[in-house]
Amino acid sequence: MVRTSPLPLTVGDLSEGELLDRILPRLAAGPSALLGPGDDAAVLAAPDGRVVVSTDTQTQNADFRLEWPNGYVHTGYDVGWKAAAQNLSDINAMGAVATGIVVSLTLPQATPVGWVEDLAKGLLDAVRSLGASRCALAGGDLGRGGELSVTATVLGSLEGRQPVLRSGAQAGDRLAVAGPLGSAAAGLALLEHGPAYEGLEPALRELVALQCRPVPPLEAGPAAANSGARALMDLSDGLLRDGLRLAAASGVRLDLDPDVLALHARTLKQAGELLGADPLEWVLGGGEDHGLLAAFPADAQLPHGFAAIGSVMPADGGEPGVSVGGKPAVTRGWDHFAK
């Protein structure tokens, strides 16, 4: 019998064990896994007697769409990559290196098995490509639900260093950024409001890629810690919003250099023109870049990957804040998130 157009195998066709058998071989235990998947829990090395931990969830329609308005089909590979990347970024933002990831998947019965296999591949490729060479894919959990949801929890090692918190910035420090600013937001705008994905030229597709498969600069976190960074955080909710958090935790004002912001905006000029948007709004308000914001002592040399973006000032009248060229930063960027 010839089946010319078989229906794709779905999650509902398999038992949990059968589905796991299709995913686990795609994952590889890293050098930090003392015990990998398959028992009640995994065991990871924590060589300096401490472990860093962070968790993050992506949910269908809230955090990604299976198909975007511009026609881009969001793949399992994208979801797996981003699950790894955004969690690895949180570990990076402590000045730590990742030692392991566990993943919990909630899957509707109709999810194609191939989509889930693709997710496992994206997860593994992100860990490898982003340079998290000590990170083990240590295990996870599978369950059924009405919508796709992926929670990754990543563990990390400080390698004997002190964690670099949001609260250590001091007036007089240099403010610096690693990674892009606004690219992921420009990519999101293209997905939501742009012309057909198929017709986009490569530079614009690259912005979509940075939204779907962010590239956190994983060497920059430990490098910042080793260079004496006094404060460090992941840029996941936009420069202004995250900057205000760092400013509040440190009791300071962050003053951003308008010329540097303009430089970042210029890299997004083409997307801005296409969409009739001001790229500066993406630079200041756009989330999900997963770069780093750091404060360094004024005399410190910025480590590889960081570029200056402003300076740390005393809080005006005790009120923490973010300013641009000395003027209070109140841009429409904020409205992307406000209720």
- At which residue do the structure tokens 């440190």 appear? 250
| C-alpha span between 272 and 255 (Å, rounded) | 25
Residue 225 C-beta: closest distance to a second copy, Å? 13
55 is in an annotated binding site: yes
Q: What is the largest CA-CA distance in the chain?
A: 80
Distance CA 11, CA 23 (A): 12
Selected range binding a second copy among 73-81, 147-155, 189-197, 315-323, rule: CB under 8 A: 147-155
Report the distance separating Cα 314 and Cα 250, nearest Å: 10
Nearer to a second copy by Cβ, of 102 and 280: the residue is: 102
79-138 positions binding a second copy, by CB under 8 A = 90-91, 93-94, 96, 100, 102-104, 106, 138
Q: Are 169 and 246 in contact (CB under 8 A)?
A: yes
Question: What is the identity of the amino acid at 223?
Answer: A
Smaller CB separation from a second copy, 102 or 186: 102
Binding a second copy (rule: CB under 8 A), the pick from 10, 59, 267, 270 is 59
Q: Which of 75, 111, 149, 183 touches a second copy by CB under 8 A? A: 149
CB nearer a second copy, residue 152 or residue 260:
152
State yes or no: 54 annotated in a binding site: yes
Residue 13 per-residue DSSP state: G
Binding mask 155-194 for a second copy (x = CB under 8 A): xx-x----x-xxx---------------------------
In the set 122, 139, 194, 310, which binds a second copy (CB under 8 A)? 139
DSSP readout, 116-178? HHHHHHHHHHHHHHTT-TT-EEEEEEEEE-SS-EEEEEEEEE-TTPPP--STT--TTPEEEEE
Q: Does 60 bind a second copy (CB under 8 A)?
A: yes
Are residues 75 and 69 in contact, defined by beta-carbon separation less than 8 angstroms? Answer: no
Dist CA 137 CA 33 (whole Å): 8
Q: How many angstroms separate the CA atoms of 197 and 201, rounded?
A: 9
Structure tokens, 138: 């240590």
DSSP annotation of 247 reads: H
Q: How far is the CB of 161 from a second copy (least distance, A)?
A: 11
Assess contact for 268 and 207: CB atoms under 8 A: yes
Chain residues 223-282 in contact with a second copy, contact rule CB under 8 A: 232-234, 249
| Cβ atoms of residues 122 and 77 within 8 Å | yes
In the bound state with a second copy, the residue whose beta carbon lies nearer, of 34 and 274, is 34
Residue 234 assigned as binding residue: yes
Task: Pick from 25, 69, 145, 325 the residue near a second copy by CB under 8 A.
Answer: 145
Q: Name the site residues for a second copy (rule: CB under 8 A).
A: 15, 34-35, 38-63, 90-91, 93-94, 96, 100, 102-104, 106, 138-141, 143-147, 149, 151, 153, 155-156, 158, 163, 165-167, 232-234, 249, 338-339
Binding-site residues from annotation for substrate? 63, 288, 334
Q: Which residues are annotated as a binding site?
A: 40, 54-56, 63, 90, 140-141, 166, 234, 236-237, 288, 334
